[in-house]
């Protein structure tokens, strides 16, 4: 994990003053680092009977798509409103200041499909919780949540209790 951590750079005061953003783009640009990250995440779920990976825009797509290929399963995407062309389900969730909404195609998950939710970073858990709500609306069975990075000091894991959660890199 230390090799992967070295490929993640800190960007101070982004997107606002006082925040240190964990930038994964150097890791993605490094062919060995990117491959290793996908291997570490995917290997955790090999043989776990995942039917579909659900990933959240936009960096979640970069992690979730290769994981779905490696696991040999389908991919469903979660996006902001107005970005998906077919009929959608949506959920609105609370942010620190205000609300946000996520959507997913109504036919993205079949009832009973075993779903792995994937994103790049677990911060406060709001986006992950909203994604769980979308999967539940479509009657999918959540087998776990996988993140490349967990920002433990934000306690996002607490909002996701009751679900198996994996994040190999923690800050």
Residue 103 CB-half CA count within 13 A: 12
Kindly report the pTM of this predicted structure. Answer: 0.95
Is 48-170 CATH 3.40.50.2020?
A: yes
* Predicted confidence (pLDDT) per residue in 130-153, tens digit: 999 999 999 999 999 999 999 999
Per-domain residue ranges for the chain? 48-170
* Predicted confidence (pLDDT) per residue in 60-118, tens digit: 999 999 999 999 999 999 999 999 999 999 999 987 678 999 999 999 999 999 999 99
The yes-or-no answer on residue 159 being catalytic is no
The yes-or-no answer on residue 96 being catalytic is yes
User: Pick the catalytic residue: 5, 44, 59, 114?
Assistant: 59
Length of the chain: 171
């Amino acid at each position: 994990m230390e090799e992967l951590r070295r490929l993640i750079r800190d960007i101070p005061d982004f997107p606002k003053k006082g925040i240190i953003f964990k930038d994964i783009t150097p890791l993605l640009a490094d062919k060995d680092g990117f491959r290793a990250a996908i291997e570490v995440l995917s290997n955790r779920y090999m043989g776990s009977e995942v039917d579909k990976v659900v990933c959240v825009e936009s960096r979640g797509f970069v992690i979730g798509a290769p994981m779905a290929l490696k696991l040999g399963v389908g991919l469903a995407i979660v996006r902001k409103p107005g970005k998906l062309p077919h009929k959608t389900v949506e959920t609105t969730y609370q942010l620190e200041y205000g609300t946000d909404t996520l959507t997913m195609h109504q036919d993205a998950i079949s009832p009973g499909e075993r779903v792995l939710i994937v994103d790049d970073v677990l911060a406060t858990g709001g986006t992950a919780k909203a994604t769980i709500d979308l999967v539940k609306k479509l009657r999918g069975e959540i087998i776990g949540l996988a993140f490349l990075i967990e920002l433990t000091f934000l306690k996002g894991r607490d909002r996701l209790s009751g679900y198996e959660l994996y994040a190999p890199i923690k800050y």
